[in-house]
Structure 1
Amino acid sequence: MSFCDVPSVSVSVDEVPETSADAVLLDVREDDEWALGHAPGAVHIPLADVPARLDDIDIDAEVYVVCRQGGRSLGAVEYLNRIGYDAIQVDGGMVAWQKSGLPLVSDGDEPAKIY
């Protein structure tokens, strides 16, 4: 089975539920992108680290996967769905999140911003 054989589901940023025991927002961007701005409560695992950090992702939760605009998150969603997770791509990524006026936080003193 290839990645293309696994259906993937996507939702708009407005359809992402608040993080809870039943829903996780997984941000697969790189560390520098995360530090500049991310969604409150998101779990950060850079895409390359996802296979090694599966224990950090609740297999019983719906996993909403986000990156900057959607390319990396699609690969993560396909991979996670293939191995048994219920993963959903967030259309437009953090760029769409910011454009929709959804909350952002940063790791530094600067205001959060997605570039």
Structure 2
Amino acid sequence: MSASDLSSVPAAELPVETTGSVVLLDVREDDEWQHGHAPGALHIPMNEVPSRLGEIDQDAELYVVCKVGGRSMQVVQYLARIGYEATNVDGGMDAWHAAGRPVVRDDGAEARIL
């Protein structure tokens, strides 16, 4: 399955609020997440996705994001192979932030995308 067979969406077209049936899966590393992430996103670093599949709602509208879109596309490809429907976020968190989308930190400090 090639990347062109998988769906992707520009960050600016995503729903801002991810609740209920919409899940934004952030697959960046812990340090990237801690500096800033989308409100309500589910954080599972890329290398932990296979062992943490139980945390991902298979029936949700699933969007996968990383910093610029490379790692998230690999995760979308993996999820598609095992039966999940997932959409890559083009441009990743860089594009999310550039589109004026909210970015938060768990500790309340000023958020930024690394």
Could you state the TM-score of these two structures normalised by the residue count of structure 2? 0.92
2:7 maps to 1:9 = yes
Flag structure 1 segments of 5+ consecutive residues without an equivalent.
none
Aligned pairs, number: 113
Residue 19 (structure 2) aligns with:
20
In structure 2, do the counterparts of structure 1 residues 36 and 22 end up closer, same or farther at CA, with 3 Å as the change threshold?
same
Residue 68 (structure 2) aligns with:
69
Sequence identity percentage: 57
Shift, 1:91, TM fit: 0.3
Give the residue type in structure 1 aligned to 2:105.
Answer: S
Residue 54 (structure 1) aligns with:
53
Contact map agreement 2:26 2:44 (CA 8 A) in 1? yes
Residue 78 (structure 1) aligns with:
77
In structure 2, do the counterparts of structure 1 residues 101 and 80 end up closer, same or farther at CA, with 3 Å as the change threshold?
same
Shift, 1:21, TM fit: 2.1
Shift, 1:20, TM fit: 2.3
Shift, 1:109, TM fit: 4.4
Residue 39 (structure 2) aligns with:
40
Give the residue type in structure 2 aligned to 1:79.
Answer: Y
Give the residue type in structure 1 aligned to 2:84.
Answer: Y
Could you state the TM-score of these two structures normalised by the residue count of structure 1? 0.92
Shift, 1:23, TM fit: 1.1
Shift, 1:85, TM fit: 1.0
Distance across 1 between alignment mates of 2:22 and 2:14: 9
Aligned Cα root-mean-square deviation (Å) = 1.5
- Post-superposition CA distance 1:13-38 (Å, at most 9, x none): 12212312221000000000000000
